[in-house]
Amino acid sequence: MLPSLITLSRAARLVGVKRGTLQKQIQRGELRTFEGELLLADLLHAYPQTEIEDTTMLERVGSIKEQAVNKIIRADEEQPDVDTLSARIYSLGRELARERQAARRSGTIIDELKDRINEVSADADEKTRAAAFSTLRESFFRSLEAIEPADNSTGFIAREAFLRVMAAQVRILPSGHEFFIEGSDSILEAGLRGGLALNYGCSNGNCGLCKCKVLSGEVKKISTHDYAFSETEKALGYILACANTAVTDVVLEADEANSSSDIPLQQIEVKVRKVEPVNDRVLILHARTPRTRRLRFLAGQYLALQTDSGAAQNCSIASCPCDDMNLQFHIPVVSGNPFSGKVAALRPNSNLTLHGPRGNFILDEDSPRSLAFVAVNTGFGPVKSLIEHAMALDIAEQLRLYWITTPGNSHYLGNLCRSWDDALDNFHYRALKAGDNATVESLLATIIGELDDITSLDFYACMPAPLLDILQAKLLAREVLPGQIRLEQLRENLPVD
């Protein structure tokens, strides 16, 4: 029996397209929705060729996201654990049993009706009555023929059931954000990986900050925790997101950060994983937080980095909040500034102290517009964080990146940008070099001049302050609204907050 309604996120995974594609079809009236969910029969009609193996696009996007967040996959984390799988299969089994029972009842009713109609038709002696029954008989058999299932509905049902066993969907209220839980992730881990700024602290069941309320669906505790709920909280269905996973699709009431003011300032000791001199102008610093003391931040924010020797500098975070333990910073090597020299001398396992995060160079997640990112040199760092976050959220229809380098600098992560461009249909990358024939200012003018749809874009740019002023003036002159422009100056040589 074909389930009648399906959420937009599940439908997108089922047929292998992006949510935005389905949203457009809904706007065009090609798909109908009922209380925000799609009619599965409509979906089958719109995507009749859906095959169970047709997951290429999803896999490509998935692998890009994995690379984007530097996720370290352990073999035992690739699949849901046996208990979770059993619970999901049990839940589907109950649903199947209910549907079979309903199908058997319908079959019995149909058989009885068929016999009755035949009997009455045979016995009828009044002309009008006979005619009426004859009409009824014909329409009944016509209806029976009409409810024959579509040829490919079986594959559709199998695929839908398979996806439900492999991943449960979580919907967060009041925001309405959705994400899927794959493997043996906790609700918190999957939510962060999905780009949500959920409220949390210790990640290990002590602080209670990730407390949320189960409104519907079934969850399962995957780790013990010290945090104690009151009897009232237990009765109301409160759980810890860091200690539970979802068995079935669930709806939770949970707090999320909406702005930088919702993120607390933190001081965290981290360990250096490695320092990569990618060229003679840039160091990429990889650091790791303790498992129980991760950094909560929004994509695009910065913090003060302090070495054991006391040297400190504000640095933009170049990684995604979806991986809150593994942090990345792109440190410009600036002559006369001793900080980059101190960073270059750091060895694996050296200590660093983080103070922050700060800053409002963050994604406007409620905007329906496509996104354009413009970076100059290491301005790519915070832009990379925003792009990875936008990919995790999967909200923007189009993502465009323009990365300009000045003489002596290089597109030090150009391969990464090209791999995004190759793998994602909605990502476009352009590398530009300023030099003898073009200044940064003229390149900015070229970029803006080529954008026909400029007023339908949100702009995020990171570069030295004078260039930001030039870019902003050019965008405003093309009637881009101030609310569509977010600017961040390069944080090299700025005093620590």
Per-residue CA distances from 412 to 60, 191, 282, 328, 405 (Å): 23, 30, 8, 14, 10
Per-residue CA distances from 139 to 107, 108, 226, 357 (Å): 17, 19, 65, 69
Only one of the segments 200-208, 364-372, 373-381, 418-426 lies at the binding site for ligand FES (rule: CB under 6 A); that segment is: 200-208
Q: Rule CB under 6 A: which of 422-481 touch ligand FES?
A: none
Residue 429, CB-side half-sphere exposure with 13 Å CA sphere: 19
What is the amino acid identity at position 310? G
Among 240, 317, 386, 454, binds ligand FES (CB under 6 A): 240
Minimum CB separation from ligand FES for residue 289, in Å? 13
> With binding defined as CB under 6 A, does residue 244 bind ligand FES?
no
Structure tokens given for 138:
């014909």
Minimum CB separation from ligand FES for residue 227, in Å? 5
Among 7, 21, 153, 206, binds ligand FES (CB under 6 A): 206
Q: Rule CB under 6 A: which of 354-413 touch ligand FES?
A: none
Among 203, 289, 405, 426, binds ligand FES (CB under 6 A): 203
> With binding defined as CB under 6 A, does residue 242 bind ligand FES?
yes
Residue 203 and residue 211 in contact, taking contact as beta carbons nearer than 8 Å: no
Among 3, 201, 277, 414, binds ligand FES (CB under 6 A): 201
Helix (H, G, I), strand (E, B), or coil: what is residue 161?
helix
CA separation for the pair 437, 187 (Å, rounded): 52
Only one of the segments 58-66, 155-163, 201-209, 357-365 lies at the binding site for ligand FES (rule: CB under 6 A); that segment is: 201-209
The residues, ordered by sequence, that sit 6+ positions from 334 with a Cβ below 8 Å of its Cβ are: 340, 492, 493
Among 47, 156, 200, 302, binds ligand FES (CB under 6 A): 200
Instruction: CB nearer to ligand FES: give 84 or 244.
Output: 244
Q: In whole angstroms, how large is the CA radius of gyration of the chain?
A: 28
User: Within a 10 A sphere around the Cβ of 488, how many other Cβ atoms?
Assistant: 25
Minimum CB separation from ligand FES for residue 383, in Å? 29
Instruction: CB nearer to ligand FES: give 259 or 292.
Output: 292
Could you write out the DSSP letters of every residue in 447-496?
HHHH-TTGGGEEEEEEE-HHHHHHHHHHHHHTT--GGGEEEEE--TTPPP
Among 20, 183, 194, 205, binds ligand FES (CB under 6 A): 205
CA angle 174, 175, 176 (to 5 degrees): 95
Instruction: CB nearer to ligand FES: give 202 or 447.
Output: 202
Nearest CA-CA partner of 489 in 429, 446, 469, 261: 469
Minimum CB separation from ligand FES for residue 250, in Å? 17
Structure tokens given for 479:
């009637």
How would you classify the pairing of strands 33-34 and 178-182? unpaired
CA angle 457, 461, 464 (to 5 degrees): 155
Minimum CB separation from ligand FES for residue 200, in Å? 4
What is the amino acid identity at position 81? D
Minimum CB separation from ligand FES for residue 237, in Å? 16
> With binding defined as CB under 6 A, does residue 245 bind ligand FES?
no
Only one of the segments 190-198, 204-212, 298-306, 471-479 lies at the binding site for ligand FES (rule: CB under 6 A); that segment is: 204-212
Among 183, 191, 194, 208, binds ligand FES (CB under 6 A): 208
Only one of the segments 194-202, 280-288, 328-336, 427-435 lies at the binding site for ligand FES (rule: CB under 6 A); that segment is: 194-202
Minimum CB separation from ligand FES for residue 464, in Å? 39
Q: Rule CB under 6 A: which of 283-312 touch ligand FES?
A: none
Minimum CB separation from ligand FES for residue 206, in Å? 5
Among 197, 210, 318, 416, binds ligand FES (CB under 6 A): 210
Nearest CA-CA partner of 449 in 474, 420, 424, 421: 474
Sequence-ordered alpha helix ranges (H) in 167-274: 187-193, 231-236
Minimum CB separation from ligand FES for residue 394, in Å? 25
Q: Which positions lie near ligand FES, rule CB under 6 A?
A: 200-203, 205-210, 227, 240, 242
